[in-house]
Structure 1
Amino acid sequence: MAKIKDIPKVDRPREKFLQKGSEALSKSDLLAILLGSGIKGKNVRQLSENIIKKFGNKFLDIKVEDLLQVSGIGQAKALQIVSAISLVKRFYEEKKGGEILIKNQQDVLALTYDLTDKKKEYLVCLYLNARNVLIKKEIVSVGLLDKSLVHPREIFHPAVEFNAASIILIHNHPSGISDPSEKDIEIVKKISQAGDIMGIAVVDFVITANNGSYSFYEKLQQGKRHLDYVADGMQGTLFDLLEIERPTYEINAEKVQENYFYIPQIKKNHLQLQNRRYIGSKHKLIEWIFSIINKECEKGSSFADVFAGTGVVSAVAARHFDEIILNDFLHSNYAIYQAFFGNGKWNKEKLDDIIKNYNNINGEDLEKNYFSEHFGGKYFSHNSSKIIGFIRENIEENKSNLTDKEYYILIASLLYSIDKVANTVGHYDAYFKKDHVEDGFFMRPIDPIEVKKVVIFREDTNLLAKKIRADVIYIDPPYNSRQYSRFYHVLETLTKWDKPKLYGTALKPEEENMSDYCKVRARDRLAELVRDLDAKYLVVSYNNTYDSKSNSSKNKITLQEIKDILTSKGKTKVFEKDYRHFNAGNTDFKNHKEYLFVTTTDYAK
């Protein structure tokens, strides 16, 4: 009887398994180890190949009587094979009943073992929460995989629906060779880039075939095998590993010689300033804005961003001006500016340890708190909201042990992290009504920005205008009736931690920080602001939602009114760009344009 020892050493499945792991073995090799011996005239490997070939993708459904039809397979070996299959199925079914944690490529392959024998190409997506627990497994496409057919929309639409924090893609090669094709590589880059824009991490792209598997994640980690996707509490992503260059945007202004748009070195697993959903964010318009500023404004030393919002405009300005002034009325934005731009001292290792400990907290072990009692099961899951509330309380209790900079970094890291699991479209005017909101909160640190000199305010812009001066002042007020203090009330409550009484379905506190720029007096307030500002150049952003069908989206100031107001201050140029902006609702803006006004004031002459 031919046994494994009769096979040349170099081809023996057991030795290969011990040296290279199970991934290096074919299915017939694995079955050969299980069988142990062959029959007269046929070694165990040949016998295994016959069995695999005979049953193919029906192997997992074979019965003892099926195997008894194979020459050389008796009852003992048949029972051995069927028992092994039944054992694996039993464990898999039990695992499916609870949380399925996807730690590495092996976990991915265990969930998609049936793809290897498919005659057509499949693309499957695993949607994960922030703890890498499987939310859903979906087939994205069947048939020839082509970058023109695999649209990011088909992948990321379910991700948004499932509130996924990350995804993993699995693709089979019916050819039997797991090496990636050029199309595979192009698709990985395309999807990874889309994921970065969406704020949904693409963790891995795994190819499975008869000869084994290929993991882009492991390959990009210098080929190390069995690497976990989360290391030291930080999630790896293909976008970071591939070092894809972030896209630039076409501009209407003339191209400038100096590369004015500068993106600092991205730190893996850290949240960048632009990594949050925010209405009116100028992140995708930055190059367009600064190319125009560089062309139209003489070089100056100071830059003021008086409606700073996300702060992304100031972040780029900080690379080119000696002094930056930021202002916003929201408490949460003020805390974020202090965290990203503030000049105080802080200890990175200390904060990393604190955040790592926070990520080890199990929500089921915590008592209810203010945050979970109000927002649990609505804006966040019950467990996530308990963890968020606990962390916020803990930060406040330990404030005396933190520098101001460290305190704000922890607050900002918390604010940015909850955005990744919020059961919303990107703001807190409402939440999705679901029977069950998925867990998934995971706290990631922000990546502070080095700034030469910065002054941060939280004041009414019209009052601040009488106190400051700068060479360039950028103005981007809220032009419609949507009050930011109401849209982001959860962030305001979490930042202030004053635990106010909440009202209504959306659980909002009493009104505060209500901007006049969202009311009928907006035009007069802008005229006052422009009159009082002391600057060489005024740069004003504007978008044309004045004719929107939605009353809340309609601008309170017309394009012509802004032109008239700015012209009274000095010579004004207008630039425009087609742009589909972030829409937090269902309003469809056709022919949407972004405008940029540059006014050279009398001070510049």
Structure 2
Amino acid sequence: MILKNKNQVNNTQNEEKKEFAIHSRRYLGAKTKLLPLIEDVVNKSIQEWHSFTDLFGGTGVVGNRFNKPGKELIINDLLFSNIHSYHTFFSPEPFDKNKVASILQTFNEADVKEDNYFSINYGDKYFTKENARKVGYVRDKMEELKQTGKVNNREFSILFTSLMYALDKAANTVGHYEAYRKNLDMFNPITLLMPALTENETNQLNKIYQRDANELVREINTDILYIDTPYNSRQYVDSYHLLENLAMWEKPELEGVARKISSEDRQYGKSKYCLKSAPEAFDDLIQHVNAKLIVVSYSNMAEKGDGRSNAKISDHEMISSLEKRGKTISYEQDYKHFTTGLKDIDNYQERLFVCHVGQ
């Protein structure tokens, strides 16, 4: 029997208590630093509200800021991986925290020596071979737990989200999976933690969707509609193809150096807001909104980056669409742009366009 000294015991206990927050993730366009401005603008713009809709949810950090007891949060995204995160943090479904923690501990203690689908495709590329073997093993075990009914839907999503956040800390990338770095220098072990979750009472009225935003907006009624569309031609399903493959876990053949699922299999996640037709799509969206307040995040990227990074909707086009529905005010904040690791953007700003519908 190996005896641990007091410091070792305390360190072990602290490690067991470590949790991750919803914002503890690198993600293109994440609005974590913009949250104080968004909340301040909303509070100034509307006195009472019952429902908040995050139509292009992404990481879910904006929805999380407005997820409050007695309020309805509606959150939507096209990506399967993000939907799991929403079920983790926002679902009203009960879950057994002790059971989930025990499963996570078992996963962390696993010593995997054999190759699997994930390690064959992503090992020594996006992750070390050792980490990739563990990821594939853990994902297979998660699937077994789901298929045998040993975890409910939310418990499964919690396990998946824990794995997804763990990958972010060990990935040989610059924060997305469009490509991996040539030199493998990320050796952090895969460690799955418990998410920091609110009491279930907070989530009782919440609704989670995986729908085309222009279709969904025709069906919902909300007090506040927050819109954060993709800004440029970079499709999120392409940047996060690895997480989508992990989420669906159909183990398809992969393509190219970047080991992507096929272009055909990625069509479900393609956004019209990354195309030249984005202004028309935005106008259609805004004209069918049923809300008291519309809040739109959009950068001043314009022509500041390369061709793929330039904004698809001009300020004139955006304001014109919003002013058809009501009085529109703009706010701005200097921002550190999350690039693909190649260069910084000068004078980059995030703006909020706030439309008071019917005024």
Return the TM-score normalized by structure 2: 0.93
1:330 is displaced (CA, Å) by 0.4
Query: Is 1:536 aligned with 2:288?
Result: no
The residue that corresponds to 1:474 in the other structure is 226
- C-alpha contact 2:279 2:313 (8 A) present in aligned 1: yes
Q: How does 1:369-384 map to 2 (within 5 A)?
A: 369-384=116-131
Q: Distance in 2 between matches of 1:388 and 1:272?
A: 21
Deviations 1:467-521 (A, max 9, x none): 1110110000001011000000111011111112211111111222211100100
Deviation at 1:558, TM superposition (A): 1.1
2-structure distance, mates of 1:502, 1:447: 34
In structure 1, C-alpha distance between the alignment counterparts of 2:8 and 2:209, rounded to whole Å: 45
CA shift for structure 1 position 453: 1.2
Q: Report if aligned partners of 2:125, 2:184 keep a CA contact under 8 Å in 1.
A: no
Point out where structure 1 has 5 or more consecutive residues left out of the alignment: 1-103, 105-223, 237-267
Structure 1 residues 112-127: aligned runs within 5 Å: none
Q: Is the 8 A contact 1:318 1:452 kept in 2?
A: no
> Structure 1 residues 560 and 376 mapped into 2: Cα distance closer, same or farther (>3 Å)?
same
Structure 2 match to 1:175:
none
Note if contact 1:371-1:389 (Cα within 8 Å) is conserved in structure 2.
Answer: yes
Shift of 1:584: 2.7
Specify the alignment match of 1:560 in structure 2. 316
CA distance in 1, matches of 2:192, 2:246: 15
What is residue 15 of structure 2 aligned with on the other side?
235
Mapped to 1, the partners of 2:188 and 2:69 lie a distance apart of 42
The structural deviation recorded for 1:434 is 2.2
Q: d(CA) in 2 for partners of 1:331 and 1:495?
A: 6
Q: Distance between the aligned counterparts of 2:306 and 2:26, measured in 1?
A: 21
Quick check: 2:86–2:208 contact (8 Å CA) kept in 1? yes
Alpha-carbon offset, residue 226 of structure 1: 3.1
Identity %: 36
- In the alignment, which residue of structure 2 is the partner of 1:312? 61
SS state at 1:536 partner = strand
Segments of structure 2 that go 5 or more residues without pairing to the other structure are: none
Distance apart, 1:580 and its partner CA: 1.4
- Report what 1:458 is aligned to: 210
Higher relative contact order (CA 8 A, sep 6+): 2
Q: Indicate the residue corresponding to 1:391 in structure 2.
A: 138
Match for residue 521 of structure 1?
A: 277
Q: Deviations over 1:554-577 (max 9, x none)?
A: 001111211111111111011111
Contact 1:303/1:321, CA 8 A, preserved across alignment: no
More deviation in 436-445 or 319-328?
Answer: 436-445
Equivalent-residue separation in structure 2 for 1:362 and 1:439 (angstroms): 15
Residue type of the partner of 1:235?
E
Q: Rate the CA distance shift 1:555–1:229 in 2: closer, same or farther, 3 A.
A: farther
Q: Distance in 2 between matches of 1:226 and 1:398?
A: 35
Q: Is 1:408 matched up with 2:157?
A: yes
CA distance in 2, matches of 1:420, 1:303: 31
1:95-145 CA-partner distances (Å, limit 9, x unpaired): xxxxxxxxx9xxxxxxxxxxxxxxxxxxxxxxxxxxxxxxxxxxxxxxxxx
Q: Cα offset for 1:320?
A: 7.0
**In 2, Cα distance between the equivalents of 1:460 and 1:583?**
26
Higher radius of gyration, 1 or 2 = 1
| Distance across 2 between alignment mates of 1:470 and 1:461 | 14
Name the amino acid aligned to 1:339.
T
Instruction: Provide the rounded CA distance (Å) in 1 between the counterparts of 2:88 and 2:69.
Output: 20
Aligned counterparts of 1:583 and 1:360: Cα–Cα separation in 2: 36
Q: What secondary structure does 1:401 align onto?
A: coil
Deviates more, 1:512-521 or 1:448-457: 448-457
**Distance in 2 (alpha carbons) for counterparts of 1:327 and 1:464:** 9
Map 1:136-535; keep pairs closer than 5 Å.
Answer: 226-227=7-8, 230-232=11-13, 235=15, 268-319=17-68, 322-364=71-113, 367-399=114-146, 400-434=149-183, 438=187, 440-449=189-198, 450-511=202-263, 512=267, 513-535=269-291
Deviation sequence 1:530-551 (CA, Å, 0-9, x none)? 0111111100001111112311
What's the Cα RMSD here? Answer: 1.8
Paired AA for residue 218 in structure 2: K
Structure 1 CA distance for aligned equivalents of residues 69 and 164 of structure 2: 28
In structure 2, distance between residues paired with 1:570 and 1:502: 47
Q: Distance in 2 between matches of 1:454 and 1:530?
A: 23
The answer to whether residue 326 in structure 2 is matched with residue 570 in structure 1 is yes
With structure 1 as the length reference, what TM-score do the two structures score? 0.56
CA distance in 1: counterparts of 2:322 and 2:209, whole angstroms: 24
2-structure distance, mates of 1:321, 1:525: 33
Q: How does 1:26-37 map to 2 (within 5 A)?
A: none
The answer to whether the Cα contact below 8 Å between 2:128 and 2:184 also exists between their aligned partners in 1 is no
In the TM superposition, what is the alpha-carbon distance from 1:228 to its structure 2 partner?
5.5
Distance 1:435 1:334, change over 3 A: closer
| Matched-pair contact (CA < 8 Å) for 2:327–2:355 | yes
